Amino acid sequence: MKKIFLYLLAPLSCYTALVGCKKMEVGIMNTGNYTDTSTLIKDAATADGFPFGLAIDYTPMMNNPIYSGTVTREATSVTFTYQMKHGAIVQNDGSLNYTNTDALVNKCVSAGLQIYGHTLGWHQNQNATYLKNYAGITIPAATELLANPGFELGTATTFSNWSTYNASNGATVSVTTTPSQVHSGTRAMMVVNPVANPGNQWKVQVASDLFNTVVGQQYIISYWVYAAAPGGSIRLSTQTSGGGSAQYQADQNIGTSWQLVTWTITANSPQTRILFDMGQAANTYYIDDASVKQVIAAPSGAQIAVKLDSALYNFITNTVTRYKGVVKAWDVINELFADNGTLRNNSNTSTTGSDVLVWSNYLGNNYALHAFQYAQAADPNALLFINDYSLESNSVKLDSLISYVKFLKANGAKVDGIGTQMHIAWNTTYAGIDAMFQKLAATGLLIRISELDVRINPNDKTGFTPNQLFYGYQADMYNYVVNSYLKYIPKAQRYGITVWGVDDPESWIVTTQNKVDYPLLFNANFAKKPAYTGILKALKAQQ
């Protein structure tokens, strides 16, 4: 066994950060005898009765023969890191595009690899823009119905799409470009009414073109206006085409500074126009930035839930059906729980990412329950799993997940197994790993290590360069995880181990978390690291 000697020139406590929870002999640290690569991990795992898998990415698997060759040689099964997720398949219009997924499936099937489906329900890596628009969580901006609402179009003296209907007693309608008389842009409407017509606003009128409306729908009308002298008065009215009666706004008192006037109507005709009525009070009026938009009401929580449930059904049913018989096991639900052990919602989960929608915030317990039901209906023979992270270090979350699985099964859901991701570090505590596997085994369900990787630089030290000592500790942790899995999970309940990636530079920790780390079994040159032997030794010890 190779040893590295460290001479302690400071108190032992100074070295605690280096070794974490590992036991340490003063003066000596072992790198471990992790050099045996004479057997493939997948062969040793098969001998122990379960598959060994690697998580793969689309681009290197399709285009890098060294990467794909390593996967084909080393793995029994593969999990797609992204290509089976909602965001990879669902388009902005809700259609499903399986082009790249099919290509990757075909590549793996041709290579004799089993495919583990990941994942049908997750709050990330999905087309959240489509889901929010479809469900009404995002309220779409209403369309402007007026043509030329800001009076910017027309000749030097007229306005496109606007007409003078009445101009009694010498009233005039003209264009002003004086900056102080324009609310925005370069032009506004100036209406001069030289004679008061008390009770007869209609005697000076400017009308818009007709615009389409929906009978029974509400519309909000607004405009900016001010008068040259105090005591101005204006109102809006409507005319219709195709039935319906005129509607009248109450007279509005207009002062000498810009003010916003709004009026909401319920349409009673398939076509409507608005009219500015200014005949009552003699004055000069300046009008700009008019608008007519339909009032779009936010849907209720129940309406949102119905829409999201429909979207969930559509994605799960189509995806599971498409790969029925090829994909024989699925992560139906991924990362359902917040770190405090409660179901995820918009308060305990960050919702800032453009790909994030927290299903359980809107669907509650029905989210996972329905997801399992939809998956089972699409392929009754497929094995269905729930998957989560930090179960080895967060007993509250672990207990919540196990309790929730009991709820699902009590309500008729087919839950075949639990996946523990195990994104861990070289100094993760052994006790938590053992306790987790014991609790998972007690469920009687299939148990799989679904996304294993072991960080070698968990404290994100700058300028970190791994050495044989740290590679040895990493290998030791891989070895311990597999030993613990084999020790506490009965053989009939083992459904395999998947390492989450192939080579270090392609790890999600490096590519998406932007960390300096080396968490996988193969280095940048696809050479086997001591971590590879760490797994192999544990598997061989059982034979």
pLDDT tens sequence across 359-378: 999 999 999 999 999 999 99
Tell whether omega for the bond before 119 is within 30 degrees of 0, i.e. cis. Answer: yes
- Checking if the pLDDT of 303 tops 90, the result is yes
- Checking if the pLDDT of 338 tops 80, the result is yes
- Checking if the pLDDT of 510 tops 80, the result is yes
Question: Which pLDDT belongs to residue 449?
Answer: 98
- Checking if the pLDDT of 240 tops 50, the result is yes
Distance CA 239, CA 207 (A): 9
CB 304 within 8 A of CB 135: yes
Question: Which pLDDT belongs to residue 33?
Answer: 84
Q: Which residue has the tokens 């698997």?
A: 61
Higher pLDDT, 16 or 79: 79
Give Cβ neighbours of residue 30 (< 8 Å, ≥ 6 apart): 1, 2, 3, 4, 472
Q: In the CATH scheme, what architecture does the domain 162-294 have?
A: Sandwich (2.60)
- Checking if the pLDDT of 21 tops 90, the result is no
pLDDT tens sequence across 444-482: 999 999 999 999 999 999 999 999 999 999 999 999 999
Distance CA 414, CA 330 (A): 12
Residue 213 in tokens:
């409306």
What is the separation, in whole angstroms, between the first and last Cα of the chain? 23
- Checking if the pLDDT of 27 tops 50, the result is no
Average pLDDT value for the chain: 94
Within this chain, domains 31-138+300-541 and 162-294 share the same CATH topology: no
Distance CA 473, CA 524 (A): 19
Span 513-531, average pLDDT:
97
Span 4-33, average pLDDT:
41
Question: Which pLDDT belongs to residue 242?
Answer: 85
CB 432 within 8 A of CB 473: no
In the chain, pLDDT over 70 holds for what percent of residues?
Answer: 94
pLDDT tens sequence across 424-435: 999 999 999 999
pLDDT tens sequence across 324-334: 999 999 999 99
pLDDT band at 514 (very low <50, low <70, confident <90, very high): very high
* Topology given in CATH for the domain delimited by 31-138+300-541: TIM Barrel (3.20.20)
Question: Which pLDDT belongs to residue 381?
Answer: 98
- Checking if the pLDDT of 20 tops 80, the result is no
Question: Which pLDDT belongs to residue 9?
Answer: 31
- Checking if the pLDDT of 30 tops 70, the result is no
Give one DSSP letter per residue of 240-271, joined into a string.
EESS----BPPPEEE-SS-EEEEEEEE--SSE
Domain ranges of the chain: 31-138+300-541, 162-294
Q: Which of 20-24, 149-153, 234-238 has the lowest mean pLDDT?
A: 20-24
- Checking if the pLDDT of 336 tops 70, the result is yes
- 25 in catalytic set: no
- Checking if the pLDDT of 316 tops 70, the result is yes
Give one DSSP letter per residue of 154-197, joined into a string.
S-SS--TTEEEEEEGGG-EEEEE--GGG-SSSS-EEEEEE-S--
Question: Which pLDDT belongs to residue 174?
Answer: 98
Predicted structure pTM score? 0.84
**Active-site annotation holder among 74, 335, 392, 451:** 451
pLDDT tens sequence across 140-175: 899 999 999 999 999 999 999 999 999 999 999 999
- Checking if the pLDDT of 19 tops 50, the result is no
Pairing label, strands 232-241, 252-254: antiparallel
CA contacts within 13 A on the Cβ side of 412? 7
- Checking if the pLDDT of 26 tops 90, the result is no
In the chain, pLDDT over 90 holds for what percent of residues?
Answer: 92
- Checking if the pLDDT of 29 tops 60, the result is no
Distance CA 196, CA 533 (A): 97
Q: Phi and psi for 144 in degrees, rounded to 5?
A: -70, 125
pLDDT tens sequence across 247-286: 999 999 999 999 999 999 999 999 999 999 999 999 999 9
Question: Which pLDDT belongs to residue 13?
Answer: 33
Question: Which pLDDT belongs to residue 204?
Answer: 98
